[in-house]
Structure formats: structure tokens, C-alpha cells
Amino acid sequence: MKLCKKVIDLVPLFVSDDVSPEERLLIQDHIQTCESCNKYLDEVQSIQSAISREKTEAPDGYGSGLVVRLNREIDEKEVRRKILRRAIPAFSAFTVIILFVSVFLMTKINRHDELIAGLDDEELFNDATLTNSFSADLSDVLNISDSPEEYKTVVVRYVLEDSQELSIDRYVMASNTMDESEFETFIKDLKNISL
């Protein structure tokens, strides 16, 4: 039985003529007496010879056609590689530019947001702050002192002269600096001057 296993392992090499003379003798002797190993040898021999008969040949002129196709493929690959080699730096530069522009725009947007957030600040709209800031601005623009009388006269004059330098909202804001009686006087004065 042990010999059968050894012979079975050697049979494929026996049929392909790859055994030593000793192994050849061993197999030849064994198959004389072992029917199953003998049958196995027949089967393997048939398969081996069927495979050997299956010859395939490349078609005529295949080699030269193959060389042409390979060279064309290699050239095309080379062109693709060259395009890619140029495209990568261009693409990288484009990406960097886009990145810089994005960062710049983001910074601008952030600054704008901060400004708006600052305007929301309660302190900025505090009456006192607004009044002081506006009076100071107005005094600067109109080149007048902080005297209420002079202030009122000038403001009224500007309103009546339809000066573009003092818009109506500024005028309204100016009125906020007066108490009720002052405002009434102011309006009266305004009417008198208008008439």
C-alpha cells in the first residue's frame, strides 16, 4: 500500500519521462502486480498525451503586428505621462491661488461680521454716547462751538438751506439733544424763520 502511494506520486513524472532509472524500474515492476496502479498509469498517460496534443500557434504575422501595437501603446502612455507631468504643477498652482483667495475672502467676511457685531453693542447706541459723538461730529463738520444757541441756529440754517451736509436723520438726531421745551422752541424758531 505504501509502495502504491509512492508509485502514484511518481507516475506523472514517469509519463513525462522525468524519473530516474531506479524509479522507472520500480514503477515497471510494481504495475505488473498492481492492477489499480496500472489503471492509474493508463489514465494519467491518456491525459498527459491529450494535453501534449493540444498545440496552439500564434497566427501568421502576429509578432510584427504585436510589436507595432506595443510601440503605439507605449507612445500613447508616454504622451499621457507628459500631459500629467505638466498638468500636476498647473493644477497645484491653481489650487494654491484658490486657497489664497478663499482665505482672503474669509478674512474680509469675518471683519465685516465683527463690525456688525460691534454695531449691535448696546453701549454704542447708548443715548449719552450717541449724543456726545453726534454733537462732536456735527461741531467738527459745521465748524461751530458747543454753544446750544449757536448750535441750534446753525442746524436750522442748514435745514432751511437744504444743505446736503446735514441729512434729515442727523437733524432728527440733533433734536434728541434737546429736552421737550427746547424742542418746542426750536420748532417755533424754525417756523418763524421759514415764514
Which stretches of the chain bind other proteins, using CB under 8 A? 8-13, 15-16, 18, 40, 42-44, 46-52, 54-59, 62-64, 66-67, 69-71, 73-74
- Burial 101-110, CB ≥16 within 10 A → b, else e: eeeeeeeeee
Nearer to other proteins, 16 or 132 (CB): 16
- Closest listed residue to residue 14, CA positions, set 34, 33, 50, 40: 40
Least distance in angstroms from the C-beta of 68 to other proteins: 10
Closest distance of CB 66 from other proteins, Å: 5
Whole-number Å distance between alpha carbons of 12 and 19: 9
Nearer Cβ to other proteins, position 11 or 31? 11
Q: Report the chain's terminal Cα–Cα distance, integer Å.
A: 139
Would you give the distance in Å from CA 131 to the centre of its chain? 50
In the complex, what is the shortest distance from the CB of residue 62 to other proteins, in angstroms, rounded to a whole number? 7
Q: For other proteins, give the closer residue by CB, 64 or 181.
A: 64
Rounded alpha-carbon distances, angstroms, from residue 25 to 9, 22, 41: 15, 5, 14
In the complex, what is the shortest distance from the CB of residue 56 to other proteins, in angstroms, rounded to a whole number?
4
- Comparing CB distances to other proteins, the nearer of 57 and 140 is 57
Task: Write the secondary structure of 56-119 as one string of H (helix), E (strand) and C (coil).
Answer: CCCCCCHHHHHHHHHHHHHHHHHHHHHHHHHHHHHHHHHHHHHHHHHHHHHHHHHHHHHHHHHH
> Closest CB to other proteins among 76 and 184?
76
| DSSP 8-state symbol, 144 | -
Minimal distance, residue 52 CB to other proteins, in Å = 5
Residue with Cβ nearer other proteins (63 or 148): 63
Measured CA to CA, the distance from residue 166 to residue 142 in angstroms comes to 9
CB of 105 to other proteins, least distance (A): 46
